[in-house]
Amino acid sequence: MEKLRQPSLRDAAGLLADVTRHWPMAKGSLAEVRKPCVRANCPVCASGRRHRAFLFSLTEKGRRRCLYVPAALVPTLRQAIANGRWMEEQMRRTGVRLIEEHRCARRQRPSACQGGAS
Ligand SMILES: [Zn+2]
Protein backbone atom coordinates (compact mmCIF):
# COMPACT_ATOMS: atom_id res chain seq x y z
CA MET A 1 0.00 0.00 0.00
CA GLU A 2 1.25 3.44 -0.88
CA LYS A 3 2.31 5.63 1.99
CA LEU A 4 -0.21 8.35 2.77
CA ARG A 5 0.94 11.87 2.19
CA GLN A 6 1.21 14.24 5.15
CA PRO A 7 -0.29 17.50 3.88
CA SER A 8 -0.05 19.21 7.27
CA LEU A 9 3.70 18.55 7.45
CA ARG A 10 4.23 19.36 3.80
CA ASP A 11 2.61 22.76 4.27
CA ALA A 12 3.92 23.54 7.76
CA ALA A 13 6.78 25.81 6.66
CA GLY A 14 4.51 27.91 4.49
CA LEU A 15 1.88 28.09 7.20
CA LEU A 16 4.45 29.20 9.78
CA ALA A 17 5.46 32.08 7.51
CA ASP A 18 1.78 33.03 7.12
CA VAL A 19 1.26 32.84 10.89
CA THR A 20 4.17 35.22 11.42
CA ARG A 21 2.57 37.68 8.99
CA HIS A 22 -0.77 37.38 10.82
CA TRP A 23 0.62 38.02 14.32
CA PRO A 24 -0.78 39.04 16.82
CA MET A 25 -3.87 36.85 16.94
CA ALA A 26 -6.78 37.01 19.35
CA LYS A 27 -9.99 35.04 19.81
CA GLY A 28 -13.02 36.99 20.92
CA SER A 29 -15.11 39.94 19.80
CA LEU A 30 -14.93 43.69 20.10
CA ALA A 31 -17.99 45.83 20.74
CA GLU A 32 -18.47 49.58 20.98
CA VAL A 33 -20.80 50.63 23.79
CA ARG A 34 -22.06 53.89 25.31
CA LYS A 35 -21.76 54.17 29.08
CA PRO A 36 -22.36 56.77 31.76
CA CYS A 37 -19.34 57.84 33.81
CA VAL A 38 -18.90 58.41 37.54
CA ARG A 39 -18.17 62.15 37.41
CA ALA A 40 -20.70 64.39 39.07
CA ASN A 41 -22.29 66.97 36.75
CA CYS A 42 -20.71 65.51 33.61
CA PRO A 43 -22.08 67.53 30.67
CA VAL A 44 -21.84 64.55 28.29
CA CYS A 45 -23.88 62.30 30.58
CA ALA A 46 -26.30 65.14 31.37
CA SER A 47 -26.94 65.53 27.63
CA GLY A 48 -27.84 61.84 27.41
CA ARG A 49 -25.06 61.09 24.92
CA ARG A 50 -22.88 59.01 27.28
CA HIS A 51 -19.27 58.01 26.71
CA ARG A 52 -17.94 55.73 24.03
CA ALA A 53 -16.15 52.63 25.31
CA PHE A 54 -14.91 49.38 23.80
CA LEU A 55 -15.35 45.93 25.27
CA PHE A 56 -13.45 42.81 24.36
CA SER A 57 -15.50 39.67 25.01
CA LEU A 58 -13.98 36.23 25.22
CA THR A 59 -14.75 32.82 26.65
CA GLU A 60 -12.37 31.44 29.26
CA LYS A 61 -12.92 27.89 30.49
CA GLY A 62 -16.52 28.08 29.33
CA ARG A 63 -17.22 31.40 31.02
CA ARG A 64 -17.88 34.69 29.28
CA ARG A 65 -15.52 37.50 30.22
CA CYS A 66 -15.43 41.17 29.17
CA LEU A 67 -12.51 43.56 29.36
CA TYR A 68 -12.41 47.28 28.69
CA VAL A 69 -10.14 48.17 25.78
CA PRO A 70 -8.22 51.45 25.73
CA ALA A 71 -9.16 53.41 22.59
CA ALA A 72 -5.54 53.48 21.45
CA LEU A 73 -5.49 49.68 21.39
CA VAL A 74 -8.71 49.22 19.38
CA PRO A 75 -7.13 49.10 15.88
CA THR A 76 -4.50 46.59 17.01
CA LEU A 77 -7.05 44.39 18.76
CA ARG A 78 -9.41 44.58 15.79
CA GLN A 79 -6.61 43.34 13.53
CA ALA A 80 -5.65 40.63 16.04
CA ILE A 81 -9.24 39.33 16.06
CA ALA A 82 -9.28 39.29 12.25
CA ASN A 83 -5.97 37.42 12.32
CA GLY A 84 -7.39 34.92 14.80
CA ARG A 85 -10.33 34.26 12.48
CA TRP A 86 -7.90 33.75 9.64
CA MET A 87 -6.08 31.13 11.76
CA GLU A 88 -9.33 29.36 12.59
CA GLU A 89 -10.12 29.21 8.88
CA GLN A 90 -6.71 27.64 8.20
CA MET A 91 -7.38 24.98 10.83
CA ARG A 92 -10.86 24.30 9.44
CA ARG A 93 -9.45 23.84 5.96
CA THR A 94 -6.65 21.59 7.22
CA GLY A 95 -9.09 19.26 8.99
CA VAL A 96 -11.25 18.93 5.88
CA ARG A 97 -8.25 18.48 3.62
CA LEU A 98 -6.67 15.78 5.80
CA ILE A 99 -9.85 13.74 5.59
CA GLU A 100 -10.35 14.30 1.87
CA GLU A 101 -6.75 13.41 1.04
CA HIS A 102 -6.91 10.34 3.24
CA ARG A 103 -10.07 9.16 1.48
CA CYS A 104 -8.50 9.88 -1.89
CA ALA A 105 -5.32 7.94 -1.08
CA ARG A 106 -7.36 4.98 0.20
CA ARG A 107 -8.99 4.81 -3.21
CA GLN A 108 -5.38 4.32 -4.49
CA ARG A 109 -5.56 7.18 -6.89
CA PRO A 110 -3.13 9.58 -5.20
CA SER A 111 -2.58 11.50 -8.45
CA ALA A 112 -6.21 12.60 -8.20
CA CYS A 113 -5.60 13.97 -4.69
CA GLN A 114 -3.67 17.11 -5.58
CA GLY A 115 -6.50 19.57 -5.34
CA GLY A 116 -7.67 19.23 -1.78
CA ALA A 117 -10.06 21.68 -0.14
CA SER A 118 -9.67 25.37 -0.64
ZN1 LIG B 1 -20.01 61.35 31.81
**CA dist., res. 47 & res. 25, Å (int):** 38
**CA dist., res. 107 & res. 22, Å (int):** 36
pLDDT tens for 24-72 read 999 999 999 999 999 999 999 999 999 999 999 999 999 999 999 999 9
How far does residue 49's CA lie from ligand 1's centre (Å)?
Answer: 9
How far does residue 34's CA lie from ligand 1's centre (Å)?
Answer: 10
pLDDT tens for 103-118 read 988 887 656 565 544 4
Scanning 1-118, the segments in alpha helix (DSSP H) are: 7-10, 12-21, 43-46, 74-106
pTM value is 0.74
| Region label for 93, one of left (φ > 0), alpha (ψ between -120 and 50) or beta (otherwise) | alpha
